[in-house]
Structure 1
Amino acid sequence: MMVALDGTIVAVANPAIGRDLQASLAELQWVTHGYLLGLAVFLITAGKLGDRFGYRRMYLVGVVGFVVASVAIALSSGVVLLVAFRILQGIFGAVLSPAAMGLLRTSFPPERLGRAFGLFGSLLSAANAAGPIAGGLLVSAFGWQAAFLINVPVGAVALGLGLWLLATDRPDTTRARFDLTGVALLTVAIFSLVWALVEAPGAGWTAAVTLAPLAVFAVFGAAFVLWERRPADPLLPLAIFRNPSVSIGVVLMLLMALSLIGSLFFVTFYLQGVLGLSPTRAGMFLLPLMAMMGIASPLAGRLLDRVGAKIPTIAGLLSSAFGLFLLSRLDTDTAFAFVAVAFLLLGAGLSLVMTGATAAIVGNVPVRLAGVASGMQQSAMQLGGSLGTAVLGAVMSMTIIATLPGHYRAADLAAPGAGELAAMQSTVAQGGAVVPEGADAALTQAVTAASHAAFLDGMHLAFGIAAAVMALAAALALLMRPGTAGAGQAEPVAHV
C-alpha cells in the first residue's frame, strides 16, 4: 500500500511543490514520471532478484530503501534533487512490489490464492485512490514534505512486523545469470521515450530535444527486442506475447493506468486552481473514486472466477470511458454530485479492468514464467501512468497555447504575444493565471476567467481523448479468450 499510495499522493502535493520550489509544469510532471519510471524500469529485474535471493530479504531491503528515499525527498531544496530521489524511491518500490506478490504466492494454498489476491488488489486500489485524500490532509496541515515523511512511521511498522512475522523463504538458485544487457537496453529505451513526451509540449515535436530521445528510444527498443532472443534466461521472454490474451492484457493495463494517473494529475489542478478548493477539500472530492475502487476490486475478483475475464473487462472499459466523458464536461460551477457520479463510474470500471487485465496476463502464461508475468503487469501499469501524465500534458499545453489568445480577446483584453504565451502556458496549465502587477479587481477577474477557460478547453479535450481511447480498448478486449484465466493449462496456476 505504501508503494501504491506514493504513486498518487503527489497529485495533491504538486501545486504546493510547484509554489515552494518554483517548478514548471514539465518539472512537476517529472515528480510523477520519475517515481513511475523507476518502478516500471526495475520491476522485472527486481522480480528476478527475489527469485534469486528470497522474497522476504528483498521485501525488507525494499522497505528500508523506500523510507530512506522518502526522507531524502522531503529534505530536497530543489526540484532536480527531488526528482532524482523520486526515481530512487521508485526503484525501491519496484523491489517491494514483486516481493510482496511472491510472499503471498508462497504463503497461501492454491484454493485460497484467489481470495488473497482479491484482498491484495482491493488494498492497492484503495491506496492508489486514497493518495489525494491523505495528501490533502497532510499538505494542508504540515506542508508538502509531510506527504513523504508519512512513510517513516509506516515503514517502521512494516519493517518490524516483517522481521517478526515473515518466514524465510527458499530462494531459487538454479536460474541462469541475470540478463544485464536486456536491463540496460530497456532502461535507456523507456527513459528516452518518457523524456521525449515531457519535452515535446514545451519545445515542440520537431525540436531536437524531442526527436533525439525518440531516436534513442527507437534504436534501443529495437535492440532490446533483438537481444531478448539470445539469452538462456531473458529479461522478458518474447514468446509469452504469442498468446493474444497476454498481449491484450498488457495494452489494457497501460490504458487503465494512463486514464487513472493522468486524470488525477489534472483534476487536482482543476479542483484547487479553477474551483479554488483547499488541498483537503480537493482530496474529499476524490473520495467516491477511492471508495469505489476499494469496494469493487474484491467483487471483481469473484466475478472473474465465475464468468472469466473477458466480459467484466469490457464492462469496466465502457464504464471508465463514460466516467472520463463526464469528467470532460466539468466547468467552473459543476456540482459535487456530478463529479461524484463520474468518479464512481471511473472507479468501478478501473477496478474491473485492473483485475481482468491482471488475470489475462498472469493467468495465461506457464507457471515457470509467473514471476516474469507479474513484473510485466506491474511495469505496464507504472509505465502507463507515466505516459498518461506526459500525453495528456502535451494535449493540455497545445490546447492552451491555441485557445488562450481567443479567450483574452473575448474578454476585451490584449491577446498575449508568442513570447508571452509561452511564458504563461505553464501557469495556466496548473489552473492559475498570470495577472499583471498592480491590476485592479476587474482586470484580475477578466484575466483569471480567460485563463480558466483555456485550462478547461485543454482538460475537456484531454479527457475526451482518454474516453475515446478507453472505448476503443473495449473493442480490443473482444479479442480476449473467453473463460477463466489459466483455464485449459496443463499445470496449476500456482505452486506452493
Structure 2
Amino acid sequence: MRFRSPSTRLFTRLPLAGNYPAAVALALLALSPYLILTTATVLAEPQIMEGIGATAYELQLSGGMSNAAYAFGAVLAADLVQRVARRRIYLICECGFVLSSMLALSAQNIGMFAAGVVLQGLFTGMLLVAALPPLITGHPISRLRTTAAVVSLGLFGMVAFGPLVGGLVGSLGGWRPLFAGIATLALIGLVIGSLTFEGNDPPDRRAKFDRSAIPLALGTTALPFFGVSWLTRGSFSDPEFYLPVVCGLACGVLLVGGQYRKARPLMPVRPISNTLPVVGTLNAMLVGACFTTLLELIEVYLTREARYSAVRIGALLTPQILGIFIAALLFRRLMSTRWTPYLALCGTAGVAVGAAILLAASTSSASVTVPVAAFFLGFGAGAGVTPGLFLAGFSVPAAQIGPTFALVELLRSEAAFLIGPVLLHLALIQGLADGFHLAVGITLGITVVGALSLVALYLAGGARPEAPDLVSWHAGTSTAYHSPALLAAVRKH
C-alpha cells in the first residue's frame, strides 16, 4: 500500500506493494475482527460470564470501555501519524491486537478479559486512521468507487455479521475459540500488511503532542461510556451515571470548540463546519446511533422475552448483511455523482422503516417481522453512515481525510454507544413486553425528527446537488465538495 508523501526518500520495495487486492485485504483485516466482536459477544455473554466469573455490570463496563478506547484510539492515531510513519503504527497496532486477543481468550478473570478487549478497541481505532486513508488515497482514482464500497462493508458489514457469529458461539459455548479465530484473522492481516504496507515520511516529525485535544478526547470517550455502563447496576438518578455523562459531554464540547478555534488543529473542525459535511456527519451520527440501539433492543427482547436461542436470533438478524451489501453497491455507483446526499437520506429512511416494522413485532411474530426489519436496518446503516463519512472526507483536502475520519468516528461512536444503553435501560425498567416497543418508538421518533431536521439544515444552507470533483481531490489540489456555509440561504435573505 502506498501513501503519497512529498519526500523523495526511498523505501524498500515490498512484494505486494501497490497490489490493490492485498491493500483491500489489509484494511478489512485491520478493522473487521474487532467490529465482528462488538455485536458477536452480546449473544455469547452468558458463556463469557460463566467462563470468567464476571457479573453483567463488569462485562458491560468492559464493553463500554472497549468502545471508548476505539473512539479515543482514532484521535490518538491522528496525532501520531503526523510524526510517526504509518507503517510503524500499523505494525505495532496489529501486533498489539493479536496479543490483546490472546489475553482475552486466555482470561481467567474479568481483569484479564477487560484489559484484552479494551486494548482491542484501542488498537482498532488507531488502525482505522493508520490503514484506511492510504487505501483511499494511495491507489488510482479508478479504484476509488470500489474502495468506498469496501469501506462500507468493512465498517458495517462486519458489524452485521457479528450476531450470526455470536449466535453460533452462544449456542455452542465456544467463546474462547471465537477470540482465537479473531486473533488468527488479525495475524493473517499482519502478514499481509507486512508485505503490502509501504513506509512513508511523516508530514511533520517536529509536530508536538496535542496537550489539549488528547486529554479532552479521553474524557469525551471514557467518562460517558462509564456512566452509561453504570445503568446495568444502577439507575438514572445515580450520580455515577449522570455526572460522568455530563462531564464527558462537556469535554466533547470543549474538544470540538477548541479544535475549531485552533490555527493548526489536530482535527479539521473548521473545514467541515459547512453545510454538506455537517449534514453528512450528523446523518452518520443519527443513523449509527439508531441502528446500534435497535440492534441491541432486538437481541435483548428476543433473548429475555421471546426466549429464542442465540443461534436463532443470529439467523433472524442475518438479512441485515444483504441490506448492507446492497447499500455498498449503490454507494459504489453513486459516489461520484450528485446523488450521495440523497443516498444518505435514504439510509435514514431505511432505519425509520426498520423501526416502524419492529413496532409490530411480538414474541409470536418475531420470526417474520425481525428479518424484514433487519434488512431495512442493514440497508439504512450502509446507506446512511458511509456516505455521510465521505461527505465530510471529500470536504477537506485528501491529506486530511485521516483526521476527518477520526473526528467523525469519535462523534458517531459517542452518539451510538450513549443512546443505546439508555433506551435499553428504559425498556428494562418498564418491562420488556411494553418497554421494548416504547424504546423502539422513541428511536423511531428520533430518526424521523432527525431526518427532517437534516433536510431543513440542508435547504437552509442553500446547497445544491453537485458531483464531487474527485480528480482535483485525489490529486491534492482542491477539495471535492465546495459547500455553502451553514444557514447561508437564511442569512442571505
Quick check: TM above 0.5? yes
For 2:206 and 2:160, the matched residues in 1 are separated by 37
Listed one character per residue, the Cα deviations across residues 50-83 of structure 1 (whole Å, up to 9, x for unaligned) are 3432222222222111111112122223335433
Task: Return closer, same or farther for 1:482/1:159 CA change in 2, 3 Å cut-off.
Answer: same
Task: Give the Cα–Cα distance (whole angstroms) in 1 for the partners of residues 437 and 86 of structure 2.
Answer: 44
Q: 1:219 to 1:387 in 2, by over 3 A?
A: closer
Question: Which amino acid is 2:402 matched to?
Answer: G
1:492 aligns with 2:473: yes
Identify which of 439, 452, 461 aligns with 1:462: 439
Is residue 306 from structure 1 mapped to residue 337 from structure 2 by the alignment? yes
* 1:201 and 1:397 in contact (8 A); partners too: no
SS at match of 1:238: coil
Deviation of 1:197 after TM superposition, in Å, equals 2.8
Describe the superposition over 1:101-136 as per-residue Cα deviations: whole angstroms up to 9, x where unpaired.
122034311232122222232243321111111222
- Report the number of matched residues: 441
Aligned partners of 2:75, 2:467: CA distance in 1, in Å?
A: 21
**What residue identity is the alignment partner of 1:98?**
V
1:357-379 CA-to-partner distances (Å, cap 9, x unmatched) read 11221112233432211112222
Three-state SS of the structure 2 residue aligned to 1:180 is coil
* 1:16 matched residue in structure 2: 47
Match of 1:262 in 2: 293
Q: Quickly say closer, same or farther: Cα 1:223–1:123, change in 2 above 3 A.
A: closer
Question: Is the contact between residue 97 and residue 183 of structure 2 (CA under 8 Å) also seen in structure 1?
Answer: no
Q: Decide whether the 8 Å contact of 1:178 with 1:233 is kept in 2.
A: no
Contact 1:186 1:221 in 2 (8 A): yes
Distance 1:295 1:237, change over 3 A: closer
* Higher deviation after alignment, 20-29 or 316-325: 20-29
- Structure 2: distance between partners of 1:225 and 1:127: 29
> Where in structure 2 are the equivalents of 1:44-443 lying within 5 Å?
44-173=75-204, 176-200=207-231, 202-217=233-248, 220-225=251-256, 227-228=258-259, 232-399=263-430
**1:475 aligned counterpart, secondary structure:** helix
Cα distance change on mapping 1:328 and 1:152 into 2, 3 Å: same
Alpha-carbon distance in 1 for matches of 2:301, 2:245? 31
Q: What is the percentage of aligned positions where both structures have the same residue?
A: 24
Distance 1:351 1:150 in 2: 25
Residues 1:81 and 1:492: Cα distance change in structure 2 (over 3 Å): same
Q: Which SS does the other structure have where 1:168 is aligned? A: coil
**What per-residue deviation string (whole Å, max 9, x for no partner) do you get for residues 398-434 of structure 1?**
32xxxxxxxxxxxxxxxxxxxxxxxxxxxxxxxxxxx
Given candidates 483, 489, 494, the residue that maps to 2:465 is 483
Given that residues 399 and 476 in structure 2 are in contact (C-alpha distance below 8 angstroms), is that contact kept between their aligned partners in structure 1?
no
Counterpart Cα distance in 2 of 1:184 and 1:32: 21
Matched AA of 1:483? P
Amino acid in structure 1 at the alignment position of 2:446: V
- Find the aligned partners of 1:16 and 1:264 in 2 and give their Cα distance: 20
CA distance in 2, matches of 1:125, 1:485: 25
TM-score by length of 2: 0.81
Change (3 A) 1:54 1:295: farther
Deviation at 1:174, TM superposition (A): 5.4
The answer to which of 277-286 and 213-222 deviates more is 213-222
* Letter in structure 1 aligned against 2:439: A
**1:333 CA drift (Å):** 0.8
1:291-312 superposed Cα distances (whole Å, 9 cap, x missing partner) = 2212321222312433332221
Q: CA deviation at 1:23?
A: 4.7
Segment drifting more, 373-382 vs 78-87: 78-87
C-alpha distance in structure 1 between counterparts of 2:65 and 2:438, whole Å? 25
Which whole-Å CA distance do the structure 2 matches of 1:372 and 1:381 have between them?
14
SS in 2 for 1:305: coil
8 Å contact kept, 2:167–2:312: yes
- 1:288 CA drift (Å): 0.3
Give structure 1 stretches of 5+ with no counterpart.
400-453
> Structure 1 residues 332 and 218 mapped into 2: Cα distance closer, same or farther (>3 Å)?
closer
Structure 1 residue 37 and structure 2 residue 68: aligned?
yes
Moved more, 150-159 or 245-254: 245-254
Could you give the per-residue CA deviations for residues 28-54 of structure 1, whole angstroms, max 9, x where no partner exists? 432432221111112022133234322
User: Residue deviations 1:152-172, cap 9 Å, x none?
Assistant: 221221111112233333332
1:221–1:167: structure 2 CA closer, same or farther, 3 Å change rule? closer
How far did 1:202 drift? 4.7
**Alpha-carbon separation, structure 2, partners of 1:114 and 1:491:** 15
Using a 3 Å threshold, how does the CA distance of structure 1 residues 153 and 202 change in structure 2: closer, same or farther? closer
CA distance in 2, matches of 1:467, 1:394: 17
Tell me how far apart the structure 1 counterparts of residues 155 and 258 of structure 2 sit (CA, whole Å).
Answer: 34
